Structure 1
Amino acid sequence: MPESPEVQALAEFLDDRLTGQTISSVDILEFRVIKTRAAPPGDLVGESISGVDRFGKHLDIRVGDRHLGVALGRHGWARWTSRGGVTAAEGETPPALASIGFDGGDLLEFTDAGSWVSLGLSVTDRPADVAAVAKLGADPADPAFVRAQLDAVVTGRRKQLKALLQEQESIAGIGNAYSDEILHRARLSPVIHASELDDEQRGALFDATVGTIREAIGARRGIPIDQLKAAKVASMRVHGRAGEPCPVCGDTVRDVRLGSSTASYCPACQTGGAILH
């Protein structure tokens, strides 16, 4: 699942290449990606792009006086072809569900590698006209994000920390992978309820959240978009590392099933040695 560090890198990549370009064509190959049927992406042909932004895990492309919102969902991504020179994809290339051509000959394709369509395109007057964007919580990548905002999210909440970190209405941009990395850095169990944290633990959670997300954004910046997934996987300390030694203490990293997702954690660092089941 794309998360804020990779989506930020994608937004910056596209902002650098799209700003000032005029849309010459829009081709929708999977009509389920269109979320605003009264305002389809094809209406944007002939309009110029003034910039690309990120809201949580969402892209926002400013086109004329409107916005093309891109929800990447679970497996959505983008592929860029520059005047006939394809930005190569790693491994098997996922199918393009929509493409946008530009007057200079460049091509932007949106792909989805999942078994069901999670990619979504919306044409709106404002980014917040997309319901999922309007409901986003504070973003830890924002320099204005402060501990009081995180405290307001976790204090009194009887919800497991890992699930809470992934709740976009509470904290924007964090998914399965970075929630594991944050909790490992904070030395907190993924299953502890937020309401059980004391002041010191809330401070550790804030520091880990801000540090993990902002450092990851810095590390991904400038990496070609077809290599961002591999860079993300390589950077993980515990996520996806079950059976490997913890890089901090050497204990074995383990996985535990939590509903529809899996948490990776180090028992010695995070649960006082207890094995979660």
Structure 2
Amino acid sequence: MRQKIVAGNWKMNNGKNETKSLINDLKSSIKDLPLDNTRVIVSPSYVNLTIANEAAENSKIEVVAQNMHQEKSGAYTGEISADMLKSIDVNTVILGHSERREYFGEDDELLATKLNTALANDMEVIFCIGEKLEERKLDNYLLEVGSQIRNGLFHIKDADWQNIIIAYEPVWAIGTGETATPEQAQEMHSFIRNAIAKRYSKEIADNVSILYGGSVKPANAKEIFSQPDVDGGLVGGASLKAEDFTAIIKAI
């Protein structure tokens, strides 16, 4: 049975004190929730990963990284390796976020390499895919997302899928106030699951958690999460407030 997951991507927000305060507030607000099959994840900035892990100790909150470099070590100023993340007990990483693709030029080839590095280091990956507004308007969104899946994921072995979570991000719905309808989200999540089933097996596809990542808020979370192929959310802005993030967790 695949897990339900609510993951908060904090992006470039929160310093040391804000990180500790937000996690403490979140710990308090979710401690009595029945979360037997639901994972709660937060993704602070690199500089606050250790602080976040310490604050989240003995709680239901997992701390993950927003990105990592594909090389083991070397002259890559400003970058962070898998070994570095694992040395501070961070064993999950987000790869391929639309902002990394858009602003930092990370393409399918690079992301496939990063994915390989993460898997080789026994790390779990939240792998992001999604289409832009022009692709949605031109009705090319299935082709685009299908291409991202094939190029980024379809080289891995069957056994690797146990360490893969997929996050579908309609790029046109991130930070715009727009949100995919529950039907649009279900269409894409079903398409992704069916693509995995065709390339690998129905068993693998049925066990992969696929998250929706486009402006999830307390007001729309329950309706989106009610769709049969939506297994939770990768939440941006709403994860920066404990009250809002808790309401989204409750909606799962």
TM-score (norm 2): 0.32
Structure 1 or 2: larger helix share? 2
With a CA cutoff of 8 Å and minimum separation of 6, indicate the structure with the bigger relative contact order. 2
TM-score, normalization: structure 1? 0.30
Bigger share in strand: 1
- Greater Rg by CA: 1
